[in-house]
Structure 1
Amino acid sequence: MMATAPAGQKTIGQNTVRQATIYRMVMPGHFCPYGLKATDLLRRQGYAVDDQWLTTRAETDAFKAKHGVTTTPQTFIGGARVGGYDDLRRFFGKTVRDPKALTYRPVIALFSMTALMALAASHAMLGTPFTIRAAEWFIGFSMCVLALLKFQNIESFSSMFLNYDLLAKRWVPYSYVYPFAEGGAGVLMIAGVLTWISVPVALFIGTIGAVSVFKAVYVDKRALKCACVGGDSNVPLGFISLTENVMMVAMALWMVAAPAALSVAH
């Protein structure tokens, strides 16, 4: 008597193949990305996928009504519904990130990339990646990218910024000026020109920012989100958030001190 394969599996010759059925929307005006992700995940987990397309809105609505679900894709294994893409990830024991969870990942990713950019620029221009100029470029690049992220939605940034910045609370337009000041100072610092503008600007906004963050986090003990990478981020306001402001202050002081040190040496 032939053995019966467990639910969700099919025997082909001497091999047992795990099977799954997925229902996902594939329409002329809409191609569900989560359906593609779920299909790819199943295949990477060693499943043969019975890929069922829902090609019309009526067909999709009928499927949802039949199974009592509100979203697609939906995956079935062994005749039992597993659920959508996040449910499928949980089924395989994989992490499902909460989109509202606080994380430093955007800041870490940004500084990692700008550091690599600075090292690359130094290697291209000076023949070696590890130079003082690379450190200067790292800060300048970081300031420009941080400003760029704020420019993506300056209204959202200003609203979040007003939660803790001491100057912005007293003069609201400063919350709109800040990205321009940060980006402009960063560009001038990268170019190494007009330091009489970039240094005071970086020193001013960096000092106010550092004091504001310190007061909000360590004095007032407030749990806030940082607007440093834009107003739509979930970066918590804290020690790492001080980095943006400390870098600007350090760069401004360095640009003042370095020429003075060189003149004394000569």
Structure 2
Amino acid sequence: MSNEATERTSSTQHAQLYRMVMEKHLCPFGLKTKALLERNGYEVEDHWLTSRDEVDAFKQEHDVRTTPQVFIEGRRIGGYTELRRHLGKRVKDSDETSYQPIIAIFATAFVMALAVSWAVFDTVFTGRMLEWFIAISMTLLGVQKLQDVEQFSTMFLNYDLLAQREVRYAYVYPFAETLAGVLMIAGSLIWLAAPVALFIGAIGAASVFKAVYIDKRELKCACVGGGSNVPLGFLSLTENIMMVAMGLWMPLRIWFG
């Protein structure tokens, strides 16, 4: 073996990985851990735990509660999260607030609006594209809430002024937002869609403004469903203002267009 090859072999980092690979369960964190090690230049000695007895025996032997487990140079590092910390990678805290969900929805809605505009008009930048962007955003946000209406309503009741007076409104809201969005995408029944969007948007904007800018409360927004860590604030207010704008604009465009 050449000196260069010997040096390359000796400089290779080695890691031992113990993960569950069973007939009816392939641990996803085990796969992510293995991929992370390999991306960071480790040669992985991959040990499969193929039965519940093997898993239990491994946990008892090493006094750990979970798998996968990584060992580097004979020292136990831990599971996927601990490995990320060991490698200097960012680890997201479970309570960390993030705008990522709502940004992802708005970005997707914008691209979809461009696609619809291209399909209808053979060009992407049109007046209707902006309408479709807001309407698609409303629909996607409504779908997020409809995934778990009960959880959404619980978060919504923390700040919505009408829902706090009439709890059933918290259950109606996701359906109203989705319906208005779908009708505005189609450009149909605007006599129904526009008042609905204007009503829920105006109440929502007033509620968010009061909670955030007057009462100075630090709350999670229910805008992308009940399980999100999106902070109540500017983007939440933007969502409602967009609905108010559509509620005013769509009838005017039809009447004077």
Shorter-chain-normalised TM-score: which range?
over 0.9
Task: Provide structure 2 residue ranges, at least 5 long, that are not aligned to the other structure.
Answer: none
SS of residue matched to 1:24: strand
Q: Which amino acid aligns with 1:40?
A: A
Show the counterpart of 1:113: 108
* Residue equivalent to 1:4: none
**SS at structure 2 position matched to 1:133:** helix
Q: Does the 8 Å CA contact 2:71/2:78 hold for their aligned counterparts?
A: yes
C-alpha distance in 2 between matches for 1:64 and 1:147: 44
Contact 2:191 2:251 in 1 (8 A): no
Q: What is the distance in 2 between the residues matched to 1:50 and 1:12?
A: 20
Match of 2:63 in 1: 68
Give the direction of change, closer, same or farther, for the CA distance of 1:59–1:12 in structure 2 (3 Å limit): farther
Q: In the TM superposition, what is the alpha-carbon distance from 1:29 to its structure 2 partner?
A: 2.1
- Identity rate, percent: 60
- 1:39 equivalent among 34, 41, 51: 34
Matches of 1:14 and 1:207, distance apart in 2: 68
The answer for the alignment partner of 1:28 in structure 2 is 23
Q: Deviations over 1:84-117 (max 9, x none)?
A: 1011111111101113211111000100000000
In the alignment, which residue of structure 2 is the partner of 1:242? 237
Structure 1 residue corresponding to 2:215, chosen from 220, 223, 247 = 220
State the superposition RMSD in angstroms: 1.3
TM normalised by structure 1 equals: 0.92
Asked if residue 206 in structure 1 is aligned to residue 206 in structure 2, the reply is no
**Whole-Å Cα distance in 2 between the matches of residues 257 and 65 of structure 1?**
70
Spell out structure 1 runs of 4+ moving beyond 4 A: none
- Residue in 2 that maps onto 1:13: 6
| Distance in structure 2 (CA, Å) of the matches to 1:206 and 1:180 | 14
| TM-score normalised by the chain length of structure 2 | 0.95
Provide the C-alpha distance between the structure 1 equivalents of 2:48 and 2:211, rounded to a whole number of angstroms: 52
Query: Which residue is 2:118 aligned to?
Result: 123
Rounded Cα–Cα distance in structure 1 between residues aligned with 2:43 and 2:147:
42
- Give the counterpart of 1:144 among 139, 145, 161: 139
In structure 1, the residue matched to 2:191 is: 196
Q: Deviations over 1:14-55 (max 9, x none)?
A: 422211100001111211101000001111111111000111
Partner of 2:166: 171
2:88 alignment counterpart? 93
Q: CA deviation at 1:174?
A: 0.4
The AA in structure 1 aligned to 2:24 is G
